[in-house]
Chains A and B, each alone.
Chain A
Amino acid sequence: MNPTIETRSLSKWYGNVLGLSDVTLTIEPGITGLLGPNGAGKSTFMKLLTGQLKPNIGQVAVLGRPVWNAYPLFAKIGFCPEADAFYEEITGWEFLTGLLSFYGYSRNEVGDRAAKALDIVELTADKDRRIRGYSRGMRQRIRFAQAIAHDPEIIILDEPLSGLDPLGKRKLIHLVKGYRDQGRTILVSSHVLPEIEAMTSRIILIHQGKILAQGDIHYIRDLIETHPHIISLKCDDPRALAASFVKEPYVHNLRFEADAGSLVVETHNRDAFFGRLNAVILEGGVRVDEITSPDDNLQAVFDYLVGK
């Protein structure tokens, strides 16, 4: 599969401040989450991808073409910016139809597309209200609508879930997954890791302008050898269970939780551990009610990589 987005040694400075450093990666169709704390370089990366900024070093290509000043490319790209900025004096309908008119559609098609986009984001009832009267969630939704109204092949979303209530977030996530199923390329940035986890397991972790890791979250976790896996077991007799593992070489640490109902195990070899666990349970004597991996998630991976 040809990558949709490709960067090579991409770097960007703001005077003496490093925005992005030596980023080489590819992004393929599907949902890719761009994760990092505030100031990590996510927006810089997205602005480079959407041609708003010019790289100081390196290249960025979308669909095989450099982006800077390549305006015909933008017929295939939809961008939802982070900034809460609009032409405030016009209505949602006028905003959408105005922007759609830039694509060369006929008047009827502009109207149809605008109506469809407003329907998707559930703003049809408020289409004739001025944007300055919209709530924060409505503003976020209309911003998303302008990104998808022209049916782009590539959708770049900068913090799309900010300002949305939990129901709104759920709907947008469902929407984005629908676009993935249609074979589109979606890049979503966020600093709220659980939101991205809900959408995709394919992530790019960015911190201080550098890419820390790229790929499937679980695969990345497994690669982090310096940090043993943590497994929490809720059982009726944690001490008996602990006794079964204390001599195993792949177990580094055993800890009893404050509620005295669970055992936390640290191990470098999950496969060996789970193999032994099955045997212990089958031998009888210990009932295990719940098994969780508290650090097999994005936050833990990020914390490990950042060095917290």
Chain B
Amino acid sequence: MATIRDKGYSHWDGTLRDRRFPWWPITRTGILLTFRKKQLKFFFAFAFVPAVAFLAGIYISERLEDFKFMFKGSEKFITINPAYFKTYFTSDFLLFMMVMILVFAGAGLVADDLKHNALQLYFSRPIGKKDYLLGKAAVIFFFILVLTLVPGLLFVIFKLIFAGSFRFLAEYPWLLLSIVGYSALLTLFFASYTLLLSALSKNRRYVTILIFGVYLFSDIIYGILFGIFRSPYVALFSIKGNLQQAGAMMFGRKLPFAYPGYLSFLVLAGIFVVSAVVLWRRLRSVEEVR
């Protein structure tokens, strides 16, 4: 006769499996929420204007005969070489648009979680600080890479298509590495910059001002110090200046400022380290109230 067993508490005999990409739901949600903002769509579309212009330039460069009437004596401007790529990647407009997009995509990334005490919800699930930070950073990665790596690679691909040969790549074999490397630098920098500022306050409005203001402030300080000291080294105070210096170095072009390019890398790395330290300390599931 079969017995009816009273099961009570029993151990589960299976094995726990970690989710392969625990940060992915955070990233996916962050990107979706950002795209819900109507104003972002306008700025995001507008940010592609330089990419379209530069792509058109690549096309024209291969069809110079057809467009010669427009460019009498100006063929220099549409010579497609690493300088052309560097001009795109380090243009004031593109950097400014990236900052504007960071305002939409990044201001509330950590600030909103701090405001609504959501960190407890995150860390009571099987994700750690690293996954949380990676998930949030990946939202920024997406937007920056779409504006840097994707157009950069498309420029190369279309150049090859329009030219009908691989001569361009043979001439500049390291160009792809420069594109990937500088895109990665911009991505990492802006992600750490944005997350650092977002973690400093629970007030999204304040963070918006910080993201924009710190970027602008660094430039103003550079201008003021240059007015006083007339030294190129003061450009180390400018975020834009450091990014442009690093970009010129990575594309093998003449440096815009007369100081060693590695100093800019050090400044950017320093900001990354500060960001990592602050984020690691600030992100706690329990807030200590004193």
Is there a direct interface between A and B, measured as CB atoms under 8 Å apart in the complex? yes
Q: Interface of A with B (CB < 8 Å)?
A: 130, 132-133
Which range contains the number of B residues in contact with the other chain?
under 10
- B residues less than 8 Å from A132 (CB atoms): 289
4 A-B pairs with the lowest CB-CB distances in the bound complex, closest first:
A133-B289, A132-B289, A130-B289, A133-B290
Write the B266-290 contact mask toward A (1 if CB under 8 angstroms, else 0): 0000000000000000000000011
CA distance A132 to B290 in the complex (A): 9
- A residues less than 8 Å from B290 (CB atoms): 133
- B residues less than 8 Å from A130 (CB atoms): 289
- B residues less than 8 Å from A133 (CB atoms): 289-290
| Nearest neighbor of A132 in chain B, beta-carbon distance | B289
CB<8 Å pairs between A and B, sample of 4: A130-B289, A132-B289, A133-B289, A133-B290
| Nearest neighbor of B287 in chain A, beta-carbon distance | A132
Q: Interface of B with A (CB < 8 Å)?
A: 289-290
- Least CB distance from B206 to A in Å reads 14
- A residues less than 8 Å from B289 (CB atoms): 130, 132-133
CA distance A133 to B290 in the complex (A): 7
- Least CB distance from A98 to B in Å reads 20
| Nearest neighbor of B202 in chain A, beta-carbon distance | A88
CA distance A162 to B287 in the complex (A): 23
CA distance A184 to B212 in the complex (A): 53
CA distance A130 to B290 in the complex (A): 9
| Nearest neighbor of B289 in chain A, beta-carbon distance | A133
- Least CB distance from B236 to A in Å reads 36
- Least CB distance from A131 to B in Å reads 10
CA distance A170 to B289 in the complex (A): 29
CA distance A130 to B287 in the complex (A): 14
CA distance A132 to B289 in the complex (A): 7
| Nearest neighbor of B290 in chain A, beta-carbon distance | A133
| Nearest neighbor of A133 in chain B, beta-carbon distance | B289
CA distance A286 to B16 in the complex (A): 62
CA distance A133 to B289 in the complex (A): 6
CA distance A178 to B46 in the complex (A): 64
- Least CB distance from A92 to B in Å reads 14
CA distance A123 to B290 in the complex (A): 18
- Least CB distance from B26 to A in Å reads 26
- Least CB distance from B97 to A in Å reads 33
| Nearest neighbor of A130 in chain B, beta-carbon distance | B289
CA distance A132 to B115 in the complex (A): 12
CA distance A130 to B288 in the complex (A): 13
- Least CB distance from B203 to A in Å reads 11
- Least CB distance from B201 to A in Å reads 13
CA distance A133 to B287 in the complex (A): 10
- Least CB distance from A149 to B in Å reads 25
CA distance A130 to B289 in the complex (A): 9
- Least CB distance from B287 to A in Å reads 9
- Least CB distance from B54 to A in Å reads 43
CA distance A26 to B290 in the complex (A): 47
- Least CB distance from B108 to A in Å reads 18
- Least CB distance from A85 to B in Å reads 11
CA distance A38 to B192 in the complex (A): 41
